[in-house]
Structure formats: C-alpha cells, structure tokens
A and B are shown apart, each in its own frame.
Chain A
Amino acid sequence: MKVVLQNLTKIFPSRDKKSNQEVVAVNDFSFEIPDGKLIGLLGPSGCGKSTTLYMISGLQKPTSGKIFFGDDDVTELSTENRGIGLVFQNYALYPHMTVKQNILFPLENLKGKDKLTKEEKLERAKSAAKLVQIDELMDRKPNELSGGQQQRVAIARALVKMPRVLLLDEPLSNLDARLRLQTREEIRRIQKETGITTVFVTHDQEEAMSISDMIVVMKLGVLQQIGKPQDVYDNPVNLFVAKFLGTPPINVFNGAVKDGKLYIGDAAVLETPGVADQEVTVGIRPEGFELEADGALECQLSNVEVMGRDVSIVTTHPASCNVTIRSIIDADCKVDVTATSVRYNLKPHKVFIFNKETEERIYF
C-alpha cells in the first residue's frame, strides 16, 4: 500500500494562554511512501516526526493537507478505519492482559463480516507471535517480559490484524544498545517477510540508515530530504541534513570560494568550478580526509585514537566551527603521533559546501 502525504500541516494551539503563540508542528509536508517499503522518519526531537506519524495513523487530524492510502483519501477517516498497525514508543501493552490476550485484543474488535471464529483468532495470534518469535511467552504478563520481548509483543499486536500500513514510534529508544542492534534487524526481517509498508520514527540516524529503504529527514516541522539512506548521506541538500547524518558527525569549517577554489583559512583545499565567489560553510565527512605529507589542509594534531580497522585522528583548525576535527582513515596509514600537525588532502565527493546564510547546498 502506497502512502501519500499531500501538503500536510499541523498547527497546535498555544498551551500558554497569554502568549497566544501557535506551534507549527508540521509544515506543508508532502511525500510519497512507496508500497512495501520501510521508511525511517528522522529528525531531532521536536521536529514533527511523531506528529507526522500520528497523522498517518489518524490519531491526530491534520490542520490542512491530505493523506492517501493507495488511491483512497483517508484524511477524514478515523484511525480504526484506516487499517493501520501502530507500535508505541513504550509499547502500550495492556498490563493486565497476558501476551496472548494482548495480541488477541485487536482481533476481538473486528465486527460484521470481518468477525473471526475463536479458532481463527487463535491461529492468527499464534502466527503473529511466531513471526516475532514470542510464541513461547504467550501466557506471561507484560511486566514479566524484557524490553525486547515487550517490543516484539507490541509488534505482534500491531501486525495481527494485518494492517495495510505499520507505524512504529521510536521503536528502539527504550532498549539497551545490544538489544537495539538485534531488534532493528528483527524489524527489518519482519517487514521483509510481511511486505507491509512500514513507517518508523526515530531520532537516531544510525538506526534509520541501517534498516530503512528510505529515510525522511525533518527539521522543525519542515521536510528536509527524502531518499535512500546512502543517497541522503552522500548528497545532503543542506547543512542540517549533512550534520544530522553520520557518526562521527561531519566536520564543519568556515570557508570561502574564490576564483573557483575553496579556501579553508588560507589554504585552497578544493577546486569548485562554477561556484561564485562567496563566504561558505564547508562540511567534510570524517572519511573525506586523506593523510598526505604535502596535503593542502594543515591541522594541529591533538590526539590519535586507534580503533582497530580504522584510526581516528583528532585535530584542530582555527577555521573549524567545532572544537575538534575528527577524521577517520585506514589503519594502514601510519600517523606520526609525536608530530604537532598533520596535513590532509580532501576527497571531493565527501566535501559539501553550503550557503552561509541559507545553509543550502551549493553544488559544484
């Protein structure tokens, strides 16, 4: 099922009665989620990603704009008529019901011709449980389960009624690091197996990048960029997206374009043909540095962290917007840790320049 959002806007009335300030949570948001894909809605907290998810679910009504499931306009449809499954951040498992009862609960709401016999219901619940590998835990209560198990129950409950769209709100945020890795693979597997169009919300770019077919980056209610994770990473449309994606984060410098060359400080580090002379902000991915004895960019060396496969070199530079610059290079390259400075050459496709004011990408 393809999901289309058209000019979606959500405005919350101000909580503070005196100021009368409205809060625009989602602003003129449009995009299309292809059928059967896993989409990560990504952004820092307060960017409107959860609101967007809730509008897709029907729990919140958009202030304006339309939502389509396939060709159906579901904007006016309330949540139960949309055929979605929703997994909450803290799972919202009914604490007084066993796992089985929790999973059965949505099925018991079906009425009319959808009504299932007892056996059918049990069958469905069992296969859903099997899918998320909790079929051993059916008679436990939620508080007897680990976080990861609860998460699976929540997913099973969302899946059991065979939703057209599966929505997950920060599905991994309540899990510890190890479980997180495991569970995100799990989500990916389940999505693949069922082929249900799935949207999940996260503030963790790594998580989003690792499992999504597509990611949607949002900031302050405004859509920034949509695309396959690698595309977005490789081609951020603005400074925000560039900064938001990637660990370690991108290194940002104040720079300038002069005569088709990009300068950081006094050093001309890159050819930028066709870019008008201007002050710019430069973003360089950590992996965009190459150690060269005669490299164009000289940085003061402060630390070298050997991480096995890679080496992380921490340096400083007066033009850097961050306190330190972190580059990641192959462990094979030898670094003289006693030196006071290192010199880098830059890989052009890992360097992005942005308009100083608008922070929009300047392509070269």
Chain B
Amino acid sequence: MAFKKKEATADLTDSSAVMKARNLQQTAARQRIAHICGKTMTYTFLLLMALIVIFPFYFMIISSLKTTEEYRRSVPTLFPMEFKFANYLNVFTDKDFQFWTLFRNTVFVGVVSTLLSLVITVFSAFAFARLEFKGKNALFAALLGTMMIPGELFTITNYQTVNDFGWMKSYTVLIVPFLVSVFYIYLLKQNFMQIPNELYLAAKVDGTSDLKYLWKVMIPLALPSLISITILKMMGAWNSYMWPRLVANDDAHKLITNGLRGAAFVDELGNTDYPRQMAAVTVVSLPLFLVFIFLRKYIMKGVSRSGIKG
C-alpha cells in the first residue's frame, strides 16, 4: 500500500512537492506575487464597492452645501462650486422646521418605545427560548408567519382601532402599536438559545427566580443582541413616516422625518429647496450615524451571536 514506509518515501521523491533549490525561489516569488495580487484584488473590489455604497451619502452632503441654483443644474456638479453653510444654519432657525421640537419628540418616542420594546422582547424571547408550554412551536411559527404579510394593509384597520381607543395625536399612538417586533423576538430568542440550558438549571437549583436569572445572566450575556435591537428600534423611530403622519401629525407630536417631508423646505409653488432639505437630512442622520460608529462593535457581535440557525 501507498502508506507503507518504503513506498511512501519513494512517492515523495518523485512528487512535485520535492523542489529543487531554484524552483524554491521561483515558487516563493510566485506565491508572493499571488498574495499581493490577491490582496490588491480584494482591496480594489472592496474600495470600489465602498465608493458605490458611499456615493449617495457623499451626494447628500455636497448637495446640502450647494446653492439652490447649483443644485438645479441639469448636469449635477460633484463638488460644490461655492459652499453655502447657511443651509445648515437654516435647519436650526427655520420656522417651518422646528428642529428642536421635532428632535425632542423623536428622541422621546424613540427612547420610550425602545425601552418598552426591549422589555416585551426580552420576556417573549425568554418564554420561547427557556420555558416549555403547549403550542410553543405552533405559536412561534405563527408569529414568524406574520412577517410575511404586507404590513401596509394593516394601516386601515389600525387607524380605526387607535381612533376607537381615543389615542389620536398622542405619544401613545406613536409608541404602542409597533412595540412588538417578531423579528426582534426571533433575534433574541436565537441568542438566548445559545446560552447553555445548564446555567438556567443551575440557577433553578440555587433557587434563583426567573426574573433574577433573566436580569443577572441572560441579559448580560445577550447584551450585544439587545444593543442591536436598540439601534434598529431607534432607527425605526428616526425613519418612521407613514404612520406618524396619519395619526399624530400635529406640531406637538410630529416626528423628524415628517418634519423633513412636510411643508418645510418647500417654496410657494410646491417645489422643494433640496439643498436646505439635504442639510436637514444630514443633521438628522448624524445622531444615528454617531450611534452606529460608537456601537459598531456591539452590533456586529449581536448579529454574529444570534447565529441565525433554524
């Protein structure tokens, strides 16, 4: 057989794996070139894609610095000919765009709905991941099934519902209807499932209550996922548009995206003053962007830990 001592050595001597000294250098050089080529290709690809991906962002920022006239040019300029920082000043001083009010409303709605949503998600995910009860799998499958339905059609009925509840034009109507996200429950459940069940059993043996166990063990271990959910939820508050416009578009409760798309930045003829709008969009995106940069590590961990396995 090939693996008997003698034959093996014989095999090896005429195999190409045995290299003459000059071949060695050639191979070494070749592999160096291959390595450099590989890296170059990787970087070229990544940088090219990055360029494409970042372009709209760049465009948003340069547009926010252009004059209206320049923006309207039919061949868009890739760099502002003159910087109009006044566009930014305008964001904070514009009477139609009550930046601070909008900002405060959005932050309030975002924070409160995130907190409540986290509580609900944690409890639900815990029940699904750790507790046994009848119909658990069926219920979970049904929940996942709801993700497949085009949610737009809920609007009519939900509008009626919140109106019957008398929630119109309140923070409640902005917060409550969308507190439960099946996706978040799913994400967190997966994360919880990866925490060894022995920990739970050990806690039970020690007489730790479920709540204490959740608080002391599950939550710290699932922190990255929770942070991801927090960010997704905050982004939701930041970008929500249709529903808030419908149910709470009064000045006291208006959210920031509605402010952006509303009457502000529109002149008398209904034409949008894009540079000013872009400046506002940039300012509005900034908090999210910063949050993302600072918490990037956790978001990455959160997703990788959820280890989306069936």
A and B touch in the complex (CB under 8 A): yes
- Are B35 and A162 closer than 8 Å at their CB atoms? no
- Are B2 and A193 closer than 8 Å at their CB atoms? no
Q: Which of A66-84 contact B (CB under 8 A)?
A: 71-74, 76-78, 81-83
- Are A127 and B27 closer than 8 Å at their CB atoms? no
- A274 on the B face (CB < 8 A): no
Of the candidates B1, B11, B16, B19, the one whose C-beta lies within 8 Å of that of A113 is: B16
CA distance A195 to B9 in the complex (A): 8
The smallest beta-carbon distance between A248 and chain B, in angstroms, is 34
- Are A196 and B8 closer than 8 Å at their CB atoms? yes
- Are B19 and A195 closer than 8 Å at their CB atoms? no
CA distance A44 to B151 in the complex (A): 60
- Are B1 and A162 closer than 8 Å at their CB atoms? no
CA distance A84 to B25 in the complex (A): 18
- Are A76 and B28 closer than 8 Å at their CB atoms? yes
Asked, given contacts A131-B3, A194-B8, A196-B8, whether A83 binds B27 with beta carbons under 8 Å apart, the answer is: no
Asked, given contacts A73-B24, A77-B24, A81-B31, whether A127 binds B12 with beta carbons under 8 Å apart, the answer is: no
Which residues of chain A are near B4, meaning CB under 8 Å? Answer: 193-194
B interface majority secondary structure: helix
- B212 on the A face (CB < 8 A): no
Of the candidates B2, B21, B25, the one whose C-beta lies within 8 Å of that of A124 is: B2
- Are A114 and B15 closer than 8 Å at their CB atoms? yes
**What 0/1 pattern do residues 115 to 154 of B give for CB contact below 8 A with A?**
0000000000000000000000000000000000000000
Total interface residues on B, CB under 8 Å, equals 23
- A159 on the B face (CB < 8 A): yes
Which residues of chain B are near A152, meaning CB under 8 Å? Answer: none
- Are B5 and A114 closer than 8 Å at their CB atoms? no
- Are A164 and B17 closer than 8 Å at their CB atoms? yes
**What 0/1 pattern do residues 17 to 34 of B give for CB contact below 8 A with A?**
111010011011001100
Query: Which of chain A's residues has its CB closest to B2's CB?
Result: A127
The smallest beta-carbon distance between B141 and chain A, in angstroms, is 26
Most buried by B among A71, A73, A81, A196: A81
- A42 on the B face (CB < 8 A): no
- Are A72 and B16 closer than 8 Å at their CB atoms? no
Asked, given contacts A78-B31, A162-B2, A193-B4, whether A112 binds B11 with beta carbons under 8 Å apart, the answer is: no
- Are B21 and A72 closer than 8 Å at their CB atoms? yes
**What 0/1 pattern do residues 277 to 304 of B give for CB contact below 8 A with A?**
0000000000000000000000000000
Which residues of chain B are near A114, meaning CB under 8 Å? Answer: 15-16
CA distance A74 to B11 in the complex (A): 20
- Are A194 and B31 closer than 8 Å at their CB atoms? no
CA distance A150 to B47 in the complex (A): 41
Chain B residues within 8 Å of A, Cβ to Cβ: 1-6, 8-9, 11-12, 15-19, 21, 24-25, 27-28, 31-32, 35
- Listed by A's residue number, 20 A-B pairs whose Cβ atoms lie within 8 Å are A72-B19, A72-B21, A72-B24, A73-B21, A74-B24, A76-B28, A77-B31, A83-B12, A128-B3, A130-B1, A131-B3, A162-B2, A162-B15, A164-B12, A193-B3, A194-B3, A194-B5, A195-B5, A195-B6, A195-B8
Having A76-B28, A127-B2, A195-B6, one finds 19 other A-B pairs with CB under 8 Å, namely A72-B18, A72-B21, A73-B21, A73-B24, A74-B24, A77-B27, A83-B15, A112-B16, A113-B16, A114-B15, A124-B2, A127-B1, A131-B3, A162-B2, A162-B3, A164-B17, A194-B4, A194-B5, A194-B8
